[in-house]
């Protein structure tokens, strides 16, 4: 299975959304026992980027880093997620520690992790509208208030 997944010259895996969970499960079986990072990227206006042949660029990308503590190795996965359907399977059943990272990606970027046990906001209030790390999020929506500075004399 993992041998069929597209990889770049640096060894980064590019599974499709359909192969994502099976790829991660296989990597876990081969010794990558720790999900050290999960984040989302918004490529709103960046249409040209290096991807392996057969991988179609989408607006969003979820990047996952898995670590083998015993072998002192890391592997990275980059999954393309379309703007029209920003969903991806949750890694919670494989790596319980991914729970907060998936909530953060949901909160700030709007990626919906299907099967997550509590996909709710983690940094912003529940009533917050939108996802502030998306590149089309309105700039200056929140007024910034500065304290008056004391000049040094």
Share of the chain above pLDDT 90, in %: 80
Q: Does residue 77 register a pLDDT over 80?
A: yes
**Residue 22, domain member (yes or no):** yes
Report the predicted TM-score, pTM, of the whole model to 2 decimal places: 0.88
Residue 144, pLDDT score = 56
Contacts of 125 (CB under 8 A, 6+ apart): none
Q: Give the three-class secondary structure for 134.
A: coil
Residue 3, pLDDT score = 82
**Residue 68, domain member (yes or no):** yes
Q: Does residue 140 register a pLDDT over 80?
A: no
Tokens 């996802």 belong to residue: 131
CATH number for the domain spanning 35: value is 3.30.460.80
Range of the domain at 30: 2-91
**Residue 152, domain member (yes or no):** no
**Residue 125, domain member (yes or no):** no
**Residue 114, domain member (yes or no):** no
Q: Name the CA radius of gyration of the chain, rounded.
A: 18
Count how many domains the chain has: 1
Q: Does residue 80 register a pLDDT over 60?
A: yes
**Residue 113, domain member (yes or no):** no
Q: Angle at Cα 138 formed by Cα 132 and Cα 140, nearest 5°?
A: 95
Rounded CA-CA distance 113/87 in Å is: 6
């Amino acid at each position: 299975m993992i041998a069929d997944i597209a990889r770049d010259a640096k060894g980064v895996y590019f599974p499709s959304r359909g192969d994502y969970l099976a790829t991660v499960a296989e990597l876990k079986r081969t010794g990558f026992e720790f999900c050290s990072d999960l984040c989302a990227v918004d490529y709103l206006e960046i249409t040209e980027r290096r991807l392996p042949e057969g991988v179609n660029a989408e607006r969003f990308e979820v990047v996952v880093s898995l670590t083998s503590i015993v072998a002192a190795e890391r592997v990275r996965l980059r999954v393309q997620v379309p703007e029209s359907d920003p969903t991806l399977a949750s890694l919670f059943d494989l790596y319980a520690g991914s729970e907060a990272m998936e909530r953060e990606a949901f909160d700030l970027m709007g990626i919906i992790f299907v099967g997550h046990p509590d996909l709710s906001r983690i940094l912003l209030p529940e009533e917050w509208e939108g996802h502030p790390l998306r590149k089309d999020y309105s700039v200056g929506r929140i007024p910034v208030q500065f304290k008056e500075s004391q000049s040094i004399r």
